[in-house]
Chains A and B, each alone.
Chain A
């Protein structure tokens, strides 16, 4: 056994591994720092300014989180590439173009594209459940903004910041496709080396050993990090949640600037949609390719997998012990290893795809749900018991309390499944692709224009769905308030 292990370890290219570890660590830390600075900073500013939340901005912030790497990569290239909009602008002004991409920093840029919205959503979700009374009292007593931030807000926000930082670090460290596309050959993560060992060198023992080592390293790191977490129970009545808020032009301009940063790369896709035969021909080609059934299939997978994913997240959330242990362990597992072994064991089928989406999404859903749940008022369950609520009524009250978070998580899950290419590519059966996989497969057949148009259509449909869901939720809340008021008045 010892000889076997030594044999496996001696086959590994240790200078490469250390180089990948170094790159993965610094780019993940840089991503965490920048995402907290911009995403977290915006959420804090919004809280301080007591500005009412804007639905369209929240929807735009949801979109990038789970977009497929090819879409993000293409989008960033269309803006920041050598022939991108920025360099075209520099050329127009007679300035020397700048090579923004194909280095380590472009990997950080790409990861920030995903994670700034994630951090913003997580922090603003937490902040929306902090009662402003403490801040107001501190302000009345003469505390400066900085003092309020460090002494009043930070202790209550710390757990959310640590949790989302851990998530961002894990996602960046185990990232696969974007470092390849935008970082070139030198700036690749350890995941890529594991994949090369599996498929390029057919060295399974070394690949699995390295994957286990990576998992242990990440898991240990994150657990140490999360030990600093603790939970504060708060009143959840926040004026911003009730729709009361001021206007702040500077904040609005910053939100518009961030929205442009996030949406601009996606606009490049729309322009490419007319490539080749033109929009109409590409659209008809897409329909003949089975675009609509693929979209329906993706929607069904998203809906079903969300339900089961939330059930698992809820099981760990309401379990007695070690809440964060299993989700963190699961997130630390090498995605490449998981995908290849899963496909080998389970095979390709819609059931396999459904299970894969459930298993991959539940840790993320757990962290979001947990963050919201642990912000409930400390008297929440005590009050219910005092009022004589039975178990079923307590469950109903909990679900009602968690409803806004569940809606947001569903939106994120929808984007994840509709935009996925990696998992679908591994586990969906022949002839039954998901919608993004169908689009991506057109590249291999040289149907570039149709591919770009298909991706644009999916993104547009995601936006419409997210708007509809959020509008429906708002309408449902208003309708519920109206009905309650109406019936109480009658009584």
Chain B
């Protein structure tokens, strides 16, 4: 009897939590500009000192919209929710999906293309596609950050040099398939190295990594900054934080000869959103100068708008030139990522 009551309560509550199930006619959607806007984003975007809190109240005042923010522990959980809700989406906007997520979600018909007002100001090599299914708002580069007090790099090295035995137990990486930087490293090595070198790289990394952490926070904060190992997989912009906030120059990025893989993050309208007009306003606002100027010191990534202001510390870190940026076509990613992950898991004995 009790369990019947509990299930009934859960069922009723789920009904209360859901939006109206009846689809809204397109003509009526225009009337919803002054209504609520539901935004999905991952944790660090919505955290107390993250990007979204920095501009949300201004956006609400400017647009007249009331924003309901739903946060997720990571983009994987966010993707799962979007897929589960595909037929009756609760969200209007999703923010924080990156190029790898785009490859997973592109053919699932979940996002609605929208070309923002300032689209032409964004460099075309940052675009996910010509239809702006996902609109880029910031980008960064995966890299290895090291503590120069404990290890030295005389000059640029090759990615495959990291498997040298002198780096044994000196590297911390994140797990591919569970963590975005970890998966980005998989794709980085695939695009930077030949097939033979790629296999050798991962066999060598298996011996050299001190541990494979589940996420960036654990790798960077719990392990690297505790001094467990002198090299960690992070972003090229991580040293900028230490220079800017801690006045510390000892954290630097390892210069890699083959170049760097770029992670681009985007914001998109959800197909079937109740308030798609409000969602489009949100996307346009994210590309505005006031928001783009905040990205560098909240996300510690590069804003997509070229005229945005950057802290002085960004001038003291590695900024890849166009010839140093590595690419991977999203169709190739989409077709092969699962296979690469399986092989990666088998290398690590999973």
Q: Which residues of A contact B (CB under 8 A)?
A: 16, 19, 70, 73-74, 77-78, 81-83, 99, 101-102, 177, 180-181, 184-186, 188, 192, 195-196, 198-202, 204, 276-277, 289-290, 315, 326, 340, 343-348, 355, 425-426, 429-431, 433, 438, 440-448, 451
**Bound complex: CA A443 to CA B229 (Å):** 19
Q: A346-B10, A431-B69, A443-B217 are in contact. Are A74 and B49 (CB under 8 A)?
A: no
Q: A185-B175, A444-B47, A445-B49 are in contact. Are A348 and B221 (CB under 8 A)?
A: no
**Bound complex: CA A177 to CA B214 (Å):** 8
**Bound complex: CA A438 to CA B10 (Å):** 28
Q: A83-B228, A345-B17, A430-B69 are in contact. Are A446 and B300 (CB under 8 A)?
A: yes
Provide 22 A-B residue pairs closer than 8 Å at the C-beta atoms, listed in order of the A residue: A19-B350, A70-B218, A180-B213, A180-B218, A181-B218, A185-B348, A186-B349, A192-B214, A196-B177, A200-B76, A202-B79, A343-B81, A344-B81, A346-B13, A430-B46, A430-B71, A441-B47, A441-B50, A442-B48, A444-B44, A445-B49, A446-B300
A-B complex: 6 closest residue pairs judged by Cβ atoms: A444-B44, A199-B76, A430-B69, A83-B227, A441-B47, A180-B214
Chain A neighbourhood of B210, CB < 8 A: 82, 102
Chain A neighbourhood of B227, CB < 8 A: 81-83
- Asked whether B228 lies within 8 Å of A73 as measured between CB atoms, the reply is no
Chain A neighbourhood of B228, CB < 8 A: 77, 81-83
Q: Is B327 an interface residue (CB 8 A)?
A: no
Chain A neighbourhood of B212, CB < 8 A: 184-185
Q: Is B74 an interface residue (CB 8 A)?
A: yes
Q: Is B246 an interface residue (CB 8 A)?
A: yes
- Asked whether B348 lies within 8 Å of A186 as measured between CB atoms, the reply is yes
In the assembled complex, how far is the CB of residue B335 from the closest CB belonging to chain A, in whole angstroms? 15
**Bound complex: CA A427 to CA B70 (Å):** 9
Query: Knowing that A290-B48, A443-B220, A445-B44 are A-B contacts, what are 14 other residue pairs whose CB atoms are under 8 Å apart, sorted by A's residue number?
Result: A19-B349, A77-B226, A82-B229, A181-B222, A185-B349, A199-B76, A340-B80, A346-B14, A347-B90, A430-B70, A441-B48, A443-B221, A444-B44, A445-B298
- Asked whether A444 lies within 8 Å of B43 as measured between CB atoms, the reply is yes
Chain A neighbourhood of B223, CB < 8 A: 77, 81
Q: Is B330 an interface residue (CB 8 A)?
A: no
Q: Which residues of B contact A (CB under 8 A)?
A: 2-3, 10, 13-14, 17, 43-44, 46-50, 53, 68-71, 73-74, 76-77, 79-81, 83-85, 90, 104, 169, 175, 177-178, 210-214, 217-218, 220-223, 225-229, 241, 245-246, 298, 300, 338, 341, 345, 348-350
- Asked whether A199 lies within 8 Å of B2 as measured between CB atoms, the reply is no
> Which residue of the partner chain, among B14, B47, B71, contacts A445 with CB atoms under 8 Å?
B47
**Bound complex: CA A346 to CA B15 (Å):** 8
Q: A185-B212, A186-B350, A345-B13 are in contact. Are A70 and B222 (CB under 8 A)?
A: yes
Residue of A nearest to B244 (CB): A446
- Asked whether B73 lies within 8 Å of A426 as measured between CB atoms, the reply is yes
Chain A neighbourhood of B69, CB < 8 A: 429-431
Q: How many A-B residue pairs have CB under 8 A?
A: 155
- Asked whether A77 lies within 8 Å of B222 as measured between CB atoms, the reply is yes
> Which residue of the partner chain, among B46, B71, B77, B341, contacts A340 with CB atoms under 8 Å?
B77
Residue of B nearest to A348 (CB): B70
**Bound complex: CA A444 to CA B215 (Å):** 11
**Bound complex: CA A261 to CA B104 (Å):** 46
Q: A185-B350, A345-B17, A441-B44 are in contact. Are A446 and B80 (CB under 8 A)?
A: no
Chain B neighbourhood of A348, CB < 8 A: 70-71
**Bound complex: CA A188 to CA B349 (Å):** 11
> Which residue of the partner chain, among A101, A201, A444, contacts B217 with CB atoms under 8 Å?
A444
Chain A binding site: helix, strand, loop or mixed by DSSP?
helix
- Asked whether B338 lies within 8 Å of A447 as measured between CB atoms, the reply is no
Chain A neighbourhood of B74, CB < 8 A: 199
**Bound complex: CA A348 to CA B79 (Å):** 17
**Bound complex: CA A307 to CA B210 (Å):** 45
Chain A neighbourhood of B47, CB < 8 A: 441-442, 444-445
- Asked whether A425 lies within 8 Å of B73 as measured between CB atoms, the reply is yes
Q: A345-B10, A442-B48 are in contact. Are A74 and B222 (CB under 8 A)?
A: yes
**Bound complex: CA A441 to CA B51 (Å):** 13
Residue of A nearest to B79 (CB): A202
Q: A180-B213, A181-B222 are in contact. Are A200 and B178 (CB under 8 A)?
A: yes
**Bound complex: CA A426 to CA B14 (Å):** 16
Residue of B nearest to A268 (CB): B226
> Which residue of the partner chain, among A19, A277, A315, A451, contacts B2 with CB atoms under 8 Å?
A315
Residue of B nearest to A446 (CB): B241
Residue of B nearest to A355 (CB): B13
In the assembled complex, how far is the CB of residue A287 from the closest CB belonging to chain B, in whole angstroms? 12
- Asked whether A444 lies within 8 Å of B226 as measured between CB atoms, the reply is no
Chain B neighbourhood of A82, CB < 8 A: 169, 210, 227-229
Q: A425-B43, A447-B49 are in contact. Are A16 and B345 (CB under 8 A)?
A: yes
**Bound complex: CA A430 to CA B341 (Å):** 33
- Asked whether B48 lies within 8 Å of A438 as measured between CB atoms, the reply is yes
Residue of B nearest to A290 (CB): B48
**Bound complex: CA A192 to CA B350 (Å):** 12
> Which residue of the partner chain, among B68, B226, B338, contacts A81 with CB atoms under 8 Å?
B226
- Asked whether B49 lies within 8 Å of A289 as measured between CB atoms, the reply is yes
Q: A196-B178, A347-B17 are in contact. Are A201 and B338 (CB under 8 A)?
A: yes
Q: A82-B228, A102-B211, A276-B245 are in contact. Are A445 and B50 (CB under 8 A)?
A: yes
In the assembled complex, how far is the CB of residue A331 from the closest CB belonging to chain B, in whole angstroms? 15
Q: A425-B43, A426-B73, A430-B69 are in contact. Are A16 and B10 (CB under 8 A)?
A: no
**Bound complex: CA A19 to CA B90 (Å):** 38
In the assembled complex, how far is the CB of residue B8 from the closest CB belonging to chain A, in whole angstroms? 13
Residue of A nearest to B177 (CB): A200
**Bound complex: CA A185 to CA B172 (Å):** 11
- Asked whether B348 lies within 8 Å of A74 as measured between CB atoms, the reply is no
Q: A73-B218, A204-B84 are in contact. Are A16 and B350 (CB under 8 A)?
A: yes
Residue of A nearest to B47 (CB): A441
Chain A neighbourhood of B83, CB < 8 A: 202, 204
Residue of A nearest to B83 (CB): A202
Chain A neighbourhood of B338, CB < 8 A: 201
- Asked whether B77 lies within 8 Å of A199 as measured between CB atoms, the reply is yes
**Bound complex: CA A169 to CA B180 (Å):** 32
**Bound complex: CA A280 to CA B211 (Å):** 34
Give the residue among A78, A201, A315 with the most B Cβ atoms within 10 A. Answer: A201
Chain B neighbourhood of A83, CB < 8 A: 226-228
**Bound complex: CA A443 to CA B2 (Å):** 41
Chain B neighbourhood of A188, CB < 8 A: 350
In the assembled complex, how far is the CB of residue A446 from the closest CB belonging to chain B, in whole angstroms? 5
Chain A neighbourhood of B350, CB < 8 A: 16, 19, 185-186, 188
Chain A neighbourhood of B341, CB < 8 A: 200-201
Chain A neighbourhood of B349, CB < 8 A: 19, 185-186
In the assembled complex, how far is the CB of residue A427 from the closest CB belonging to chain B, in whole angstroms? 10
**Bound complex: CA A100 to CA B49 (Å):** 35
**Bound complex: CA A78 to CA B213 (Å):** 16
